[in-house]
Structure 1
Amino acid sequence: MTGRERVLRTIEGKSTDKLPWVPFAGVHAGKLLGYGAKKVSTDVDALVQAALEVNRLYHPDGQPIMFDLQIEAEILGCDMVWSDDGPPSVASHPLEDTTEIPTRMPKADEGRLSMELEATLRLKKEIGETTALYGICCGPFTLASHLRGTEIFMDMMLQPEYVHELLAYANKVAKTVSGYLIDAGIDVVAVTDPLISQISPAHFVEFMEKPFTELFESISSKGAKSSFFVCGNATMNIEPMCKTKCDSLSVDENVNLANTKKITDTYDITIGGNIPLTSVMLFGNQQDNMKTVVDLIDSVTPGRLILSPGCDMPYDVPVENAIAVEHAVHETESVRAMVANYQSKGIEFTGELPDYEHLEKPLVEVFTLDSATCAACTYMWAAAQDAVKSMNTKIDLIEYKYTVPQNIARCREIGVKQLPSIYINGKLAFSSIIPSREELVKRIKEVL
């Protein structure tokens, strides 16, 4: 059985000889050949070479061409900030000061979309018979947020009709781009919308159910499979997501995989995930990665499971860790014996926590995966900066990125359960929900 068959049969609920493994190696693919993140994000030859190296080293059953949620936004007028070890992030929002609804649709030969489509065509010929190709499509809510900025969260309360119109436009973009990807040879369109974890189930039903249902119907009508890919603590929205009739869901480490699978099983939907990106894949060792995979597999009921990182793999994930994951997925029984008595040491916290009871001024701490690469984290960090800037008083504001080992240990010491989160004077204020400026200002004033 080929890897492609494993992925597609698993999504269809059919039996396979082994569990499928899908490494979401975006810019990490460039690391394998010594290419920086921008190189594999802008040079089609480098991108294809790097993807082939992922295929050679990691023996994936499926793999993405790129993992970049900014391609559509860049074409539609958002400025980019580039990183050496991550995909670009959105730096401007063309609809920030207007409620105009755009009409422009990305064209297949525009921007970096043309590069992604060319790479897809080439990789389809090279590995498409044996490997399921994933195309990452920016979901309509995250795309609308890229265009509008953090104001969209207030718009949902104050201008709901505008939000409906903006989402309808963003969804039309998603349908257009997913169609291009399918025509180029993509097997699974991963509609990736990290900001879904930042809204309530009521808002999901009000604003998201219709566009996402239409989008997944469009993907299915073109003969491809769909994956609803969400980051952050999307636990409350799992069942509403299932009702959009996607073929599969993919979640990150903030979501309990076993509990989620009980829900997805009732809807005959395949679940994918959710190997921790930083604490395990980036900073763990081979045994940590193998034990994590075995424990995940043992925690869930059989069938309808795809093992993958919780999101886009960090650039510097050690090659041996990803290889260890593949071995644990495909050779689970032998690996289970290897790690039966293994206990992870974890990361020791060597710093000091602030004296929260005796602070001279309010302290706002934002715990993120990384605001430079995680869309939900980007907007939570922006919301915190905006709120603090609007206040006429001195406030300490700091971001702790989970990509730093000591910050992982700090999260454990403070008791941070979900990312992104905002703490004020050492107490949880917002967990995996992006606050409006007014909401955050009010919470800060409570401690003044």
Structure 2
Amino acid sequence: MNLKENVLAVLRDEETDVTPVVSVTQLGITEAMEKTDAFWPEAHSDAEKMAALGSSLYELAGLECARIPFCLTIEAEAMGCKVDLGNKDRTPQVVESPFESSSDISMPDDFLSKGRIPVVLDAIKKLKDKYGDTLPIIVGITGPFTLTGHLLGVEKLVRYMRTRQNEVESALDEALDISIEYANAIADAGPDIICVADPTSAPELIDPLQFKTIVKPRLEDLSMQINTSKVLHICGSTEPIIKDMAATGFDGLSIEEKVDIARAKEAIKGGGKTIRVGGRTMSMGGGDKVPKIIGNISSSETLFRGSPDQVKEEVKKVLESGVDIIAPSCGLAPSTPLENIKAMIEARNEFTVSNI
């Protein structure tokens, strides 16, 4: 079973011998930029450099995937927002939006030809041409609620959640259409996994009840439209919303280190009340698939500031907790040492051998 088959088998709830080590979130680091000559900000808008940097941690450290792009501003830029592409140490940011209210938001007919969308689609093709059926290709898109924040402004969005909910829901429906359009175009390009990152919907920013009633239904709609394996990533302490995340229909949930893996798995399985049917884990409540837990090696502390030994210790801890796919808890900091990425794979290998 090759690397691609291994990670996809896990997401399909099939038995595998090895726990995959991937990154479903941003993986560009400066050390890899230097070794591949694919630097930010050029790699954000050049398909060749995007593909090179997106696969760099596989080539240099053995990470078991390629992952592009390196920000959550692609859709907003294509909608007419002004984006600062940053530098080699800083990811792109939306700095200005042309939209004042939800009534101003309308996806143009030529949306898929705007901004850097063609670059991402071309980079997917380049990765597929190079790695074929051997390496999983992961492509990230922006979740509808986070995209709404880009279009209206995050502060305005959070304030409107309390005072003008109808305005939020109208804008969110427009953002959902944009997300679906972009996800369909990406799926047609042929990646193996689409990761929907919706960090603005974290419990630190909105109430869990608002997530359940406003955000969750749109994520369900988006999930239904994605015709590849699919992962949902939400930052922060997501335990209060983990069951609702699990109910959106994604194959995997990417979580940060603030979330206890064992408790998360218990919560999404409904207290462990599951049965095996045809080799799959099913919930006795409604028969829904139980998503896999992905994570949650601290990207802001252990991978960024820690030693390889500390990385290995954390990897073994999450394996003992039952993680399904090992991955950084969030996007990698650009200054993350390459040796710490290598340590994740080494720790998985050492753990696997010791448990044979």
Do the structures match in fold with TM over 0.5? yes
Q: For residue 327 of structure 1, report the CA deviation from its aligned partner.
A: 1.4
Q: Is structure 2 residue 182 aligned with structure 1 residue 177?
A: yes
C-alpha distance in 2, partners of 1:148/1:41? 23
Q: For residue 250 of structure 1, report the CA deviation from its aligned partner.
A: 0.4
Match of 2:57 in 1: 54
C-alpha distance in 2, partners of 1:70/1:335? 43
Structure showing greater radius of gyration is: 1
Any residues of structure 2 matched to 1:175-324 within 5 Å, and which?
A: 175-197=180-202, 198-219=205-226, 222=227, 224-266=228-270, 268-300=290-322, 305-324=324-343
> Given the two structures, how large is their TM-score scaled by the length of structure 2?
0.87
Q: For residue 204 of structure 1, report the CA deviation from its aligned partner.
A: 1.2
User: Residues 25 and 63 of structure 1 are in contact (CA less than 8 Å); yes or no, is this contact kept in structure 2?
Assistant: no
Match of 1:75 in 2: 78
Q: For residue 323 of structure 1, report the CA deviation from its aligned partner.
A: 0.5
> Alpha carbon RMSD of aligned pairs, Å?
1.9
C-alpha distance in 1, partners of 2:291/2:55? 30
C-alpha distance in 2, partners of 1:40/1:133? 17
User: Residues 48 and 122 of structure 1 are in contact (CA less than 8 Å); yes or no, is this contact kept in structure 2?
Assistant: yes
Match of 1:158 in 2: 163
Change (3 A) 1:233 1:31: farther
C-alpha distance in 2, partners of 1:188/1:155? 33
C-alpha distance in 2, partners of 1:127/1:8? 15
Match of 1:325 in 2: 344
User: Residues 101 and 165 of structure 1 are in contact (CA less than 8 Å); yes or no, is this contact kept in structure 2?
Assistant: no
**Greater alpha carbon shift after TM alignment, 99-108 vs 202-211:** 99-108
Q: For residue 92 of structure 1, report the CA deviation from its aligned partner.
A: 1.6
C-alpha distance in 2, partners of 1:25/1:319? 14
Q: Secondary structure at the match of 1:37?
A: coil
1:234-272 deviations in Å (ceiling 9; x for gaps): 221111111112111101122222211222344511110
Q: Secondary structure at the match of 1:296?
A: helix
Q: Secondary structure at the match of 2:77?
A: helix
Match of 2:282 in 1: none
Q: For residue 90 of structure 1, report the CA deviation from its aligned partner.
A: 1.3
Q: Secondary structure at the match of 1:68?
A: coil
Match of 2:117 in 1: 113
Q: Secondary structure at the match of 1:111?
A: coil
The size of the alignment, in residue pairs, is: 329
C-alpha distance in 1, partners of 2:107/2:132? 32
Q: For residue 36 of structure 1, report the CA deviation from its aligned partner.
A: 3.0
Match of 1:2 in 2: 2
Q: For residue 87 of structure 1, report the CA deviation from its aligned partner.
A: 1.6
Q: Is structure 2 residue 18 aligned with structure 1 residue 18?
A: yes
**Greater alpha carbon shift after TM alignment, 110-119 vs 40-49:** 40-49
Q: Report the identity percentage.
A: 26
Q: Secondary structure at the match of 1:130?
A: coil
Bigger relative contact order, structure 1 or 2 (CA pairs below 8 A, ≥6 apart): 2
Change (3 A) 1:61 1:265: farther
| 2:139 aligns with one of 126, 135, 138 | 135
Q: For residue 119 of structure 1, report the CA deviation from its aligned partner.
A: 0.6
C-alpha distance in 2, partners of 1:163/1:265? 31
C-alpha distance in 2, partners of 1:71/1:335? 43
1:348-398 deviations in Å (ceiling 9; x for gaps): xxxxxxxxxxxxxxxxxxxxxxxxxxxxxxxxxxxxxxxxxxxxxxxxxxx
Amino acid at match of 2:187: I
Match of 2:279 in 1: none
Q: Secondary structure at the match of 1:252?
A: coil
Q: Is structure 2 residue 39 aligned with structure 1 residue 36?
A: yes
> Given the two structures, how large is their TM-score scaled by the length of structure 1?
0.70
Q: For residue 25 of structure 1, report the CA deviation from its aligned partner.
A: 4.7
User: Residues 136 and 193 of structure 2 are in contact (CA less than 8 Å); yes or no, is this contact kept in structure 1?
Assistant: yes
User: Residues 256 and 298 of structure 2 are in contact (CA less than 8 Å); yes or no, is this contact kept in structure 1?
Assistant: yes
Q: Secondary structure at the match of 2:326?
A: strand
Q: Is structure 2 residue 48 aligned with structure 1 residue 45?
A: yes
Q: For residue 101 of structure 1, report the CA deviation from its aligned partner.
A: 4.0
